[in-house]
Chains A and B, each alone.
Chain A
Amino acid sequence: MLRNLALAGAMLLSASFAADAQETIRIGAAMPITGPVAHGALQEKRGLETALEEINAAGGVLGKPLELVYEDNQCNPSVAVTVTTKLLEAGVPAVLGQQCSSAVLATMSLFQRAEVPLVSSIATNPKISELSGVGGNPWVFRLNPSDRELAVANVNYLASLGTIQKVAIVAESTDYGRGGADAFAEAAKQKGLEVVSTDFHQLAAPDFTTIIARLLNNGAQAVAVYQAHADNANFARQAHAQGLKAIMTGKLSLDGNTFAELIQQGAYDNAVTAFPYSPAVDTPENKAFTAHILEKYGESATYETFAGYESLRILAEAITRAGSAEPAAIRDALEATSYKSMIGATVDFDDHNQAHNNAVIITVDDRVLGVKDVFPTK
C-alpha cells in the first residue's frame, strides 16, 4: 500500500511539474510566514505580489508568466534548510528572500551545492557578504546594505549631534541581533563613543524591566537596538513607561499602527535610525509605489514591502537579460545587474555580490517620523 501511495504521489508530482514547465516560470520565495517575525513576511509578500502583477501584466518574462512558490522558514535555521531543500528539489531556477540572517547563513551552502542563485533583500548580518562572491559563495546575492554600513552611518549621525557620548546596546540573541550589535560597537569605537552596556535577550522576552533599570543607572544617552518588531515595540513601551530618556537608535523599523501609536505617545522621541528604506523617501517612483500599496492594502509600505518588490523586479530583469531560465545563466546575468532603485541609487553588485543601494537616516522630531537624509552606501 505504501508502495502504491509513493508511486501515485511521485507520478502526481512529476506530472504537475511537467505541465507547469511549459506554462510558467516558477520562482521560489522563502520567508518567515509563521513565527515571531511573521509580520515581515506579510509585508514582503505584498511587495512580491505587486511586482508579480506588474510583470505578468506586461507579458511576463521570456514570454511566460512568472509564478511564486512560497515556503515558510519560520525564521529558524533548521526549518530554513528543510524548506530550501524542498524548493531546490522542486526545480526552481532561483530563490528570493529567506528574510532572516540566520536562515540565509544556514542555507548558503545548499544554494552553492545545487548551483541555484539566492537573492537576499532583507537579511542584514555582515557575514553574508563576507561569505559571498569572490573567494566564497558565488550564488548568493544581497540587495540591501548590511548592518555594518548602516551602523557607521548611524553612529556618524549620533556623533554629529554633539550631545551623545554614552551608548548602550540592547539586542536579541540571534544572528541578526549579535551581528548588528557587533557592527554598532565597532562603529562606536571608531567614532569615540563609549558603549556603557550590552545586553542580549531571548527572542520574545516579555519583560525588560531589569535591562531598563540598568540603562537608567549607567547614564546611557542613546540605546541602540537590534530586535524583532514585536520585541522592539515591547521594549520601547516599557522603557517609556519607566522613564528612560535615552534616545532610541540602532535598527528601528517604525512602520505599522503599533509604532505609530508609540511615536504619538512619545516612546520614540528624538529617535534616530539608519535604515535601508522609508516610505517617505521623496522620489516619484517611491511616491507612486507607496501610494499604490496604501490603496491596495490599507497599510503603508514598509522596508520588507520595498525589498520584496525590488528583489522580484531585479530577478525578472536578470532573467530577461539572460534570455534563459537556467540557474547558471540567471546567476551570470545577476552579476551584471544595473538597476535603478526607486530610492535613487543604481543597484549593481560588487565583487562580494553585495549591492550598495542608498539608505536613509530616519528621525522622529516632535513626534513626527521623517526622513532626515538619504545617503549612498558605496
Chain B
Amino acid sequence: MSYEFLLQLIVNGIVVGLIYGLIAAGLALLFGILHIVNFAHGEMVMLAMYAIAVAVPLLGGSYLLSFAVVMVVAALVGWVASGGLLAVLSSKSGQMGIFEKSLLLTLGLSIVLLNGVQYIFTATPMMVTTDIPAGAFTFGGVRLSYGHAMAGGIAIVVFVGLYLFLTRTNSGRALRAVAQNREAALMIGLDPDAVARRAVLLSVVLCAVGGAILIPLYVFQPIVGQALILKAFAIVIIGGMGNVLGAALVALGLGILESVVGGFADIVWQNAIAFIGMIVVLLIRPQGLFAPAMRKG
C-alpha cells in the first residue's frame, strides 16, 4: 500500500471535511436553537454561490470584494428573514408543531429557490475565475492545491471564531444556554427571541461563507445545493442535532473516512458511508454521538 497515497487521501479528507463542517454548522445551529429543520440549507449555499457569480463581474472581477459584499448582504437578509421566521413560527394556528411547520416550509422554499434559480440562470454550468492560481503546496509526495488550502484555511478560521464566540462571549453563551434549556434561559433574563434571531443570522452567514469558499473550486449548477445538503444532514444527525462543534468533529471524521474509502474502493462506497453512519446512529444512539441522552418526547 502506498503510504503517500493514504496521506494524500487523509489530507484531502480533512479539507473536504472542513468544508462540509462549515455548511453543517449552520444547520446544527438552527436546530439547536430554534428546533427547526432547514431543508433549504443547500439552496442557501447555492444562492450565495450565484450571488458571488453575479457580483464578481459587477465589482471589477474582484473575488474578495464580492465575498465581502455577499457576506454583508447575507447578514442583512438573515436578519430580516429571522424576524419573519419567528413571527411565523410562533403563531399558534393549527396543531402543527414548530418542527413540522419548519420542515414543510423549508421543503417548499428549497423547491422554489432551486427552480427559481434554474429558471433564471438555466442549468448552464457557472464558473467564476478568481485570482487564486492553479497550483499546489507540496509536502513530500502530498499535494494541497491553493484553492483547497484557502478553503480549508478559511474554514479553520471560522471554526476557531465560532468556538471563541460560543464559549467566550456573552452572546455566544446565551446561544448555548437557550439551546440547552429555553425556560431556564428565560428565567435568568435572556431574551430567547433575540438569541434566536442571532442564530438565524449566523446560520445564513455561515452558508454564505460555505458557498464562497466553493467558488474557486467548482463549476456549478443550480442543483449543487442538493448534494451538499445530504452530507450536511448526515453530519448533523450523526453529531447530534443541536451540537455545532460536534458537527465540526463529525464532518472531519466523515471527510477523512469518505476520502480513504473512496480512494481504495469503489466511489459508490464513498457516498454510502454517510448513509450507513446516519442509519447506525439513528438506530443505536438517535440523539447523536455528542448530544446528551435524549428524553423521549
In the complex, are there CB atoms of A and B closer than 8 Å? yes
- A206-B227, A210-B263 given; A238·B217 CB < 8 A: yes
Give the CA-CA distance A38 to B5 in the complex, in Å. 38
Determine if A243 and B122 form an interchain contact, defined as CB atoms under 8 angstroms apart: no
Bits for A324-352, please: 1 = Cβ < 8 Å to B, else 0.
00000000000000000000000000000
**Further pairs besides A213-B9, A241-B146, A265-B129: 18, Cβ < 8 Å:** A34-B118, A38-B122, A39-B124, A199-B267, A206-B228, A209-B15, A210-B12, A210-B262, A214-B263, A230-B221, A233-B127, A233-B219, A234-B219, A237-B217, A237-B218, A242-B136, A242-B148, A256-B124
> Which among A39, A42, A213, A267 has the highest number of chain B CB atoms within 10 Å?
A213
B217 partner residues in chain A, CB cutoff 8 A: 237-238, 241
Bits for A205-217, please: 1 = Cβ < 8 Å to B, else 0.
1110111011011
Q: Is B135 part of the binding interface, using a Cβ–Cβ cutoff of 8 Å?
A: yes
Give the CA-CA distance A325 to B72 in the complex, in Å. 61
- A210-B263, A265-B134 given; A36·B127 CB < 8 A: no
Q: How far is the CB of A275 from chain B (nearest CB, A)?
A: 18
Q: How many residues of B sit at the interface, in one of the four size bands?
A: 35 or more
The residue that B9 contacts in the complex, of A35, A201, A210, A236, with Cβ under 8 A, is A210
Give the CA-CA distance A25 to B13 in the complex, in Å. 58
Bits for A230-272, please: 1 = Cβ < 8 Å to B, else 0.
1001101110111100000000000010100110011100000
The 8 tightest CB contacts between A and B, nearest first, are: A230-B125, A210-B262, A234-B219, A233-B219, A38-B123, A217-B5, A241-B145, A242-B145
Q: How far is the CB of A99 from chain B (nearest CB, A)?
A: 13
Q: Is A374 part of the binding interface, using a Cβ–Cβ cutoff of 8 Å?
A: no
**Can you give 12 A-B contacts (C-beta < 8 A)?**
A34-B118, A36-B221, A200-B267, A213-B8, A214-B263, A230-B125, A236-B219, A237-B219, A238-B218, A241-B134, A241-B217, A267-B134
Determine if B145 and A210 form an interchain contact, defined as CB atoms under 8 angstroms apart: no
A-contacting residues, B3-17, CB 8 Å: 4-5, 8-9, 12, 15-16
Q: How far is the CB of B262 from chain A (nearest CB, A)?
A: 4
Determine if B224 and A204 form an interchain contact, defined as CB atoms under 8 angstroms apart: yes
Residues in A lying within 8 Å of B, measured CB to CB: 34-39, 42, 199-202, 204-207, 209-211, 213-214, 216-217, 229-230, 233-234, 236-238, 240-243, 256, 258, 261-262, 265-267
Q: Is B95 part of the binding interface, using a Cβ–Cβ cutoff of 8 Å?
A: no
Give the CA-CA distance A207 to B122 in the complex, in Å. 21
The residue that A206 contacts in the complex, of B126, B134, B224, with Cβ under 8 A, is B224
Give the CA-CA distance A211 to B268 in the complex, in Å. 11
